[in-house]
Amino acid sequence: MTERPIHEGLEARIADTIAPTLEHMDYELVRVQVSGKERPVLQVMADRADGAPFRVEDCEAISHALGAVLDVNDPFKNEWSLEVSSPGIDRPLTRAKDWERFAGHIATVELALPMEGRRRFRGIALGADAENARLKLEDGTELTVPRQNIRRAKLVLTDELIAATAAPAAKN
């Protein structure tokens, strides 16, 4: 089974419902996020399992497949909408593999419960395992954060990140 991001509550139930379909289609779930109360918006962020660039056609295929799955197992009482996207360059760090892949790049982390009297940290991602993520803070100290305590973590858009994620130039 593919490593899945950590979610809670409704988002966890939705992730458990849709992840098998995504994995069967050779995609990986990056994040599920629900926003809005009156007419909820379900945002699903996915990556291609083969590492190839994410295309509009990928969004369409995922949207159709997940729409069918969610119509059967409707997570909402009223009308809602589905948005499918790629993680983008300044992607969220939701899985240990994301932390490992982007080690060396600047990230911001927002915690559910404060550590060292703070909820927000910025530093260089050092990697992660199933339990913890590591960050080298701007003062040079290293911070180990339980992944269960991370409310939000994402890469910071920098020239280095853009260069590292740029598609290789086409050869003639």
Same domain for 102 and 81: no
Contact 40, 19 (CB under 8 A): no
Same domain, 111 and 156: yes
| One domain for residues 105 and 81 | no
Last residue of a domain, one of 85, 115, 142: 85
| 1 falls within a domain | no
Q: Are residues 32 and 71 in the same domain?
A: yes
Using the structure block, give the residue that is written with the tokens 């950590």. 6
| Whole-structure pTM value | 0.86
Q: Decide if pLDDT at 27 tops 70.
A: yes
CA–centroid distance for 111 within its chain: 15
Summarize the confidence of residues 102-123 as an average pLDDT. Answer: 96
| 4 inside domain | no
Do residues 123 and 75 both lie within one domain?
A: no
Asked if 83 and 90 count as a contact pair (C-beta separation under 8 A), the reply is no
pLDDT over 70 for what percent of the chain?
96
Q: How many domains does the chain have?
A: 2
Whether residues 34 and 100 fall in one domain: no
Output b/e per residue, 105-127; b: 16+ Cβ within 10 A: bbbbbebeeeeeeeeebebbbbb
Instruction: Please indicate, yes or no, whether residues 73 and 114 belong to a single structural domain of this protein.
Output: no
Q: Which domain holds residue 16?
A: 9-85
Q: Give the residue, 38 or 171, on which the prediction is more confident.
A: 38
Boundary of a domain, candidates 17, 51, 85: 85
* Contact yes or no for 48/26 (Cβ under 8 A): yes
Mean pLDDT of the region 59-75: 93
- Indicate which CATH number applies to the domain containing 33: 3.30.300.70
Is residue 140 within 8 Å of 106, Cβ to Cβ? no
What tens digit of pLDDT does each residue of 115-167 get? Answer: 989 999 999 999 999 999 999 999 999 999 999 999 999 999 999 999 888 76
The answer as to whether 171 is a domain residue is no
127 lies in some domain: yes
* pLDDT for position 115: 95
